[in-house]
Amino acid sequence: AQSVTQLGSHVSVSEGALVLLRCNYSSSVPPYLFWYVQYPNQGLQLLLKYTSAATLVKGINGFEAEFKKSETSFHLTKPSAHMSDAAEYFCAVIRQGNQFYFGTGTSLTVIP
Amino acid sequence: NAGVTQTPKFQVLKTGQSMTLQCAQDMNHEYMSWYRQDPGMGLRLIHYSVGAGITDQGEVPNGYNVSRSTTEDFPLRLLSAAPSQTSVYFCASGILPGEAFFGQGTRLTVV
């Protein structure tokens, strides 16, 4: 069954530094992959999605992710962290239909 | 645009009580689902529906019932609440396959 693994439950970066959040997937077929962000006491908001059209996917707020089949990875990056990026980030995969299966999440702290 | 609306936002139940978490969407999405979010475990799928009259179980369905009589509404019922059901519950709607749109969540505490 398709699933995702997020490495690192907590990541801290300095403001202006590179953000790298890791996600590896397990799938026998090319998956649909997503990154969602959750700000405190809010629901989840889509950052970006991979649906096989392009391996480098650009999302909102300056985030992007690269699908690497050889590494079964879909890591999320942002060149320069901003204080407003502090949030919980979830990698997710669709298994059947619109059933989302989420990773355990990575909490991003941005240090001023 | 209302999107996905969940009510209530907060609820405290006593063990054994029943209640229904409401979810409504105005985007005419066929697909709706319920998740629970627990610390360190991400979001786990409880039940989902691919259209009115069709529901199915997700990863953690025990203790929960759902029904889908209209496209817009997808209520989640707890028949006999247990402390293990203390969690934050999210409803989502979407298209097949594609992004899911999430409600703001219901924080449930069972004492």
A22 touches B: beta carbon within 8 Å? no
- The closest alpha carbon to A56, from A43, A39, A45, A68, belongs to A68
For the stretch B31-68, what's the b/e string if a residue is b when 16 or more beta carbons lie within 10 angstroms of its beta carbon? bbbbbbbeeeebbbbbbbbbebeebeebebbeebebbb
Q: Is A107 helix (H, G, I), strand (E, B) or coil?
A: strand
**Mutation for testing the A interface, residue in B34, B48, B102 having most A CBs under 10 Å:** B102
B106/B50 Cα distance (integer angstroms): 22
Spatial distance between the Cα atoms of B93 and A83, rounded to a whole number of angstroms:
30
Residue B97 pLDDT more than 70? no
CB A62 within 8 A of CB A78: yes
Model pLDDT for residues B36-60, shown as the tens digit of each residue:
999 888 899 999 999 999 999 999 9
Distance CA B64, CA B110 (A): 14
B103 in contact with A at a CB cutoff of 8 Å? Answer: yes
Task: Indicate yes or no: CB of B96 within 8 angstroms of CB of A98.
Answer: yes
Nearest CB partner across the interface for B42, out of A34, A49, A104: A104
Report the residue of chain A nearest B59, measured CA to CA: A101
Segment A30-88, tens digit of pLDDT = 678 999 999 988 889 999 998 877 889 999 999 999 999 899 999 999 999 999 999 99
What pLDDT does residue B54 have?
Answer: 94
The C-alpha of B106 sits at a distance from chain A's nearest C-alpha, in angstroms, of 10
Rounded average pLDDT over A18-24: 97
- Give the residue from B99, B36, B61, B57 showing the smallest Cα distance to A94: B99
Give the pLDDT of residue B65.
97
Considering only the beta carbons, identify the residue of B59, B92, B96 that sits closest to A97.
Answer: B96
B-chain residues near A48 (CB < 8 A): none
For residue range B8-23, what is the model confidence (pLDDT) as tens digits?
999 999 999 999 999 9
A99 closest CA partner among B26, B34, B77, B25: B34
Contact residues on chain A for B45, CB-CB shorter than 8 A: 99-101
User: What phi, psi does A85 have (nearest 5°)?
Assistant: -80, -10
Confidence band for A15, pLDDT divided at 50, 70 and 90: very high
Within 8 A of B59 by CB-CB distance, chain A residues are 101
Flag if A102 and B43 touch (Cβ within 8 Å).
yes
Place of tokens 């700000």: A39
pLDDT at B104 > cutoff 70: yes
A34/B99 CB distance under 8 A: yes
